[in-house]
Structure 1
Amino acid sequence: MTRPRAALVSLDATPWYHLVNRCVRRAFLCGTDAVSGQSYEHRRGWISDRLHQLAGVFAIDVAAYAVMSNHYHLVVRVDVERAEGWSDDEVLKRWTALFTGPLLVQRYCAGADMLPVERKAVSELAATYRERLADVSWFMRLLNEAIARQANAEDGAKGRFWEGRFKSQALLDEAAILSAMAYVDLNPIRAGMAETPETSAYTSVAERMAELPEGDERDTGKARAASPDRPPCDSPRETPVGQGPAWCETLPCQPLMPFDATARLSHAIPFAFEEYLELVESTGRCQRPDKRGQIGERVPTLLDRLGIDPEAFIAASSTLMQRFGSAVGTPASLTARCAARQARHLRGMRAAREVFERRAA
């Protein structure tokens, strides 16, 4: 039975979520359609650009993403405190970057003289917009609508472009965040679209590696060659005029969420990027069909610190959506989630015990 979105996205439980949306009508979101032979590769840039743009407007940070042939994955963090700290003027500035707004808001933004009752109405609208700017459903709505309209216009088609509402998984702890990010970044390797993380175009890990400085100890040449038409996303960055949909020409881009293992930044991914990259590369080698194997004797630092079983992590990194339900986390986190929702069971408890509890040697 379909659950209400409020039961799936509860910011009281966690600000972190894994989101997935898929296309309908067999038409490709991106890639090359094997039936018609038509290429839709350029649409990957639409998704990536729109993600960065909406992250610059919403109080929602993008930690990881992967654009596949007929679906995409996101890992995001909702920052309600940031939205609550915005003034009404800041909220209206951000909202009117997406919508023109009612006449009352337009007059206020233009500096027109207003009666006290009109200013009160504007303040009430700003409160509504503030809530929406920290709402995952609004974020996904504006992402999906823009892509659907542009794709339908290009295809000369009408009707649905997405199969339905997006799927979401609450990420309840650091182990769940790590598993979801690795699952997302390794999607192209698992699907046979790329051989290594740095060559998996339109993923967050490839974008991060492409932005590494020249001379870094990691070989980033392949990352830059993977998508030569994609410049690094600096803040602010804008899509060149005439090289994308109309909305690409107005909204600046926001970089991906930074890494910070020191926990000094509340709006950062709680790992070191070098340790995360080590884990992704090790797991990616195990997932390649021509290089099946085990993680070596040296367990990646993050798995060791979080007490995650290496071999179980490999399995979970390819079956996260199937093995877990509406929430991902350690057994303790899932148990707490059950108690908070007054539920008797959450799908994924067995997987949580297998993956997030280190087995005795």
Structure 2
Amino acid sequence: MTRARYQQVSLDDTPYYHCICRCVRRAFLCGRDHYSGQDYEHRRQWVVDRLASLVDIFAIDLCAYAVMSNHYHVVLKVDRVRADNWTQREVAEHWMMLFTGPLLVQRWLRDETADAETLKAMDIVEEWRTRLYDLGWFMRCLNEHLARRANEEDGCKGRFWEGRYKSQALLDEKALLSCMAYVDLNPVRANMASTPEESDYTSVQQRSRVVQKASSETKTPTLLPLVDAEHIESDDEATISRMRLMDYLELVDATGRALRSDKRGAIEGGAAGILDRLGVDQTTWLKHMRPRKQRAPLAMGPLAKVKAFAEATGRRWIAGQNAACALV
């Protein structure tokens, strides 16, 4: 039986989630459809533009993304503390960037309500606060917007997405970095790009341009940063992990080389040091990063954390637990 989305998210266990959404009947979200001859390449920018808007509105940060031909990947961090620290006026202003909001709240913002009306308006705003750090509402605002634009362009009605988005909890730093590298390497695996930095509409290309100090001609979303050399030992929650940006880019590149036998072969020696520092065996890492046909596990991380997440989401067991714990 399909579980409610809120039963697949436990913010007490982890704020990090990998979400995937695929078009219905594997129809084309972006790129060129070789059967119909239609070119949907411009739709990739729709996804990136919408992500850029939503991360500025929600208390949810973007760690990684990749826009493919018939699906997309995002790795998100839910920041409940940030939402809780917003004033009620800030919450209302954020929410009303997306929706008009009832007249009562509009009047409250203009200080035109009586005491009873003010209390009711504040109740509505508090409900908005919970939505602004809700993974389901973030994905809803992304998918509904894209579906409306695509259906309008195609002159049709009906479902555009295959179903509910799939989410995967990332329970520790190794699982997070593993998933981010997997997402960033999607175009390389699909032979859409020869190197990560040439992979258009991905977070790895966006991060690479930061290193190159190259500006983008198109709008890009704000990414949750990796640490710099000064803060490598800090526990700053405004960064993804203790890994530096250059180390991460090297890790993605070396992993991509090992995965593609038709390219440049073995892992570079420099990447081995990075994996050793994270306490990850090279053979296990490459086996874990190899594409799989079976369903991705619902959560990734150490066995103890996977069990705790299962209990928090009302499960006795999480399928694919052996694969999820491969990096331990």
Report if TM-score (shorter chain) is over 0.5: yes
Alpha-carbon displacement from aligned partner over 1:10-56 (angstroms, at most 9, x marks no partner): 11111000000000144310000010111101000000110111000
Q: Separation in 2 of the partners of 1:164 and 1:145?
A: 12
1:281 is aligned to: 253
Q: Report the alpha carbon displacement of residue 350 of structure 1 after superposing the two structures with TM.
A: 2.1
Q: Between 2-11 and 94-103, report the one with greater CA deviation.
A: 2-11
Alpha-carbon displacement from aligned partner over 1:282-341 (angstroms, at most 9, x marks no partner): 011112241374424554444212221212222322337846421011233223334545
Q: Is the 8 A contact 1:29 1:70 kept in 2?
A: yes
5 Å-filtered alignment, 1:292-307, equals 293-307=265-279
5 Å-filtered alignment, 1:1-361, equals 1-109=1-109, 111-214=110-213, 229-230=217-218, 233=220, 255-260=222-227, 261-270=232-241, 271-291=243-263, 293-319=265-291, 322=294, 324-341=296-313, 343-353=315-325, 355-357=326-328
Q: Separation in 1 of the partners of 2:118 and 2:174?
A: 46
Gaps of 5+ in 2: none
Alpha-carbon displacement from aligned partner over 1:52-101 (angstroms, at most 9, x marks no partner): 11000000000000000000000000000000000000000001110000
Count how many residue pairs are aligned between Structure 1 and Structure 2. 323
Q: Separation in 1 of the partners of 2:249 and 2:171?
A: 22
Cα RMSD of the aligned pairs, angstroms, is: 2.0
Q: 1:80 to 1:301 in 2, by over 3 A?
A: farther
Q: Is the 8 A contact 1:299 1:310 kept in 2?
A: no
Q: 1:292 to 1:91 in 2, by over 3 A?
A: same
Which secondary structure state, in structure 2, belongs to the residue aligned with residue 295 of structure 1?
coil
Q: Separation in 1 of the partners of 2:157 and 2:270?
A: 53
Q: Separation in 1 of the partners of 2:153 and 2:321?
A: 44
Q: Is the 8 A contact 2:208 2:249 kept in 1?
A: no
Q: Is the 8 A contact 2:13 2:305 kept in 1?
A: no
Q: Is the 8 A contact 1:285 1:292 kept in 2?
A: yes
TM-score of the two chains, using structure 1 as the length reference: 0.84
1:250 is aligned to: none
Q: How high is the sequence identity, in percent, across the aligned residues?
A: 50
Q: Is the 8 A contact 1:195 1:288 kept in 2?
A: no
Q: 1:78 to 1:321 in 2, by over 3 A?
A: farther
Q: Is the 8 A contact 1:180 1:320 kept in 2?
A: no
Q: Is the 8 A contact 1:278 1:300 kept in 2?
A: no
Q: Report the alpha carbon displacement of residue 179 of structure 1 after superposing the two structures with TM.
A: 0.7
Gaps of 5+ in 1: 215-219, 234-253
